[in-house]
Amino acid sequence: MVQDSEKVKKIFAGRLDVVFLLALGFISVVAWLLHQGEANTAPKTVSVRVFTEPEQFFRVSMPASRTLVVSGKLGPAEIQFSSAGEYRIASSTCPNHICVNYGWVKNGSLVCVPNGIVVVAEEKESRVDAVSR
Amino acid sequence: MPSADNLNQHRQKTSAVEKIATIAILASAATALQIIESPLPRFLPWLKPGLANALTLYALLRFSTLAGVGVALIRTFIAGTVLGTLFSPVYLISLAGALTSALTMSIIKKLLPESGLSTISVSGALASNWAQLMAVQLMFAGGISVWFHLAVMIWVGIPSGLIVARLTAELLRRT
């Protein structure tokens, strides 16, 4: 009834186990590098949502060199977009200006809680630059 | 005097009862480990040490794939009942992880008979994390960075798999 488990009683039974762990380590490093590359990829569009009554929604195609002025819960806010595909909240009528101090981002979210503003990268650039048939 | 046939039948019955009793004990211990682990803080919702997998692995090695899958199923069901998460998304995520892990460990054991406990256990840990992430993706959030999670999954899967392997080795040595 009980199977012979002598072969697998050791934690490391041979070279196979070491090779397996090293391969996993290598895969994790490659995956991390790919993730880093992905994080630096410029977004295709950036959405700006303002949680006022009624809610306001804007979508900006990137890269764009422009400034968007929105009317937040507390007052006006300026969102700047650069030709390099970056964006930031340049000014906001909020008490601590945490969102403004966050600075430029290329692929993240910016949130101004007091003013009810959320800026999110929506769609990333395709990593494929050619299609072969 | 009982005949040799009767004695053999009696031994077989006793052996079957012993097996069922051992699996029940393993399932209970695995349930206890899962419940103890549940309130521990986690880096990501689907990443946890998974010590209960040691009992699944033990059942797989000592008995059969069916026994291992049985321990995984029983422990997720009872832990779900006790924690009040039965048939909730949390339960489904846990079930996906436990089942995939048990099946993966069984497949690795059969495909790579020369491998040690570490390979089997780390494969199980990775399979569990992967299945749970897939369940989370399906139920809640699409668009999670696959590369980021693969990297983190391996970093967490290797140490937790090695801990499970150490526990299982100790269990096998003592029984």
Cross-chain Cβ contact B63/A3 below 8 Å: yes
Q: Give the β-pairing of A66-71 and A56-61.
A: unpaired
Distance from CA of B108 to the nearest CA of A (A): 11
Ramachandran category for residue A17: left, alpha or beta (phi over 0 → left; psi -120 to 50 → alpha) = alpha
Residues of A with CB under 8 A from a CB of B: 1-3, 5, 7-14, 16-17, 20-21, 24-25, 27-29, 31-32, 34-35, 38-39
**Low-confidence stretches of chain A (pLDDT beneath 50):** 1-5, 125-133
What is the rounded distance in angstroms from the CA atom of residue A87 to the CA atom of residue A71? 18
Testing the interface with B: which of A3, A4, A11, A34 to mutate, by most B Cβ within 10 A?
A11
* Per-residue pLDDT reduced to its tens digit, B91-106: 888 899 899 999 999 9
**Closest Cα to residue B72, out of B44, B103, B49, B46?**
B103
Q: Tell me the mean pLDDT in the region B14-28.
A: 89
- What pLDDT is stored for residue A83 in this prediction? 85
Check pLDDT > 60 for residue B144. Answer: no
- What pLDDT is stored for residue A71 in this prediction? 92
Q: Which domain holds residue B100?
A: 4-174
Chain A hits for B169, CB-CB cut-off 8 Å, are 9-11
- What pLDDT is stored for residue B78 in this prediction? 93
- What pLDDT is stored for residue B65 in this prediction? 92
Residue A65, Cβ density class (10 Å: 0-12 exposed, 13-18 middle, ≥19 buried): exposed
Counting the structural domains of chain B, the total is 1
Residues 6+ apart with CB under 8 A from B85: B91, B94
Cross-chain Cβ contact A17/B173 below 8 Å: no
* Per-residue pLDDT reduced to its tens digit, B65-124: 999 999 999 999 999 999 888 888 778 888 998 999 999 999 999 998 888 899 999 999
* Closest residue in B to A18 (Cα–Cα): B119
Q: Are B53 and B124 in contact (CB under 8 A)?
A: yes
Q: Domain A43-123 maps to which CATH number in 3.40.50.720, 3.20.20.450, 2.60.320.10, 1.10.150.120?
A: 2.60.320.10
Domain harbouring B59, CATH code: 1.10.1760.20
The token pair that represents B20 in the structure block: 């069922």
Note the ipTM here: 0.74
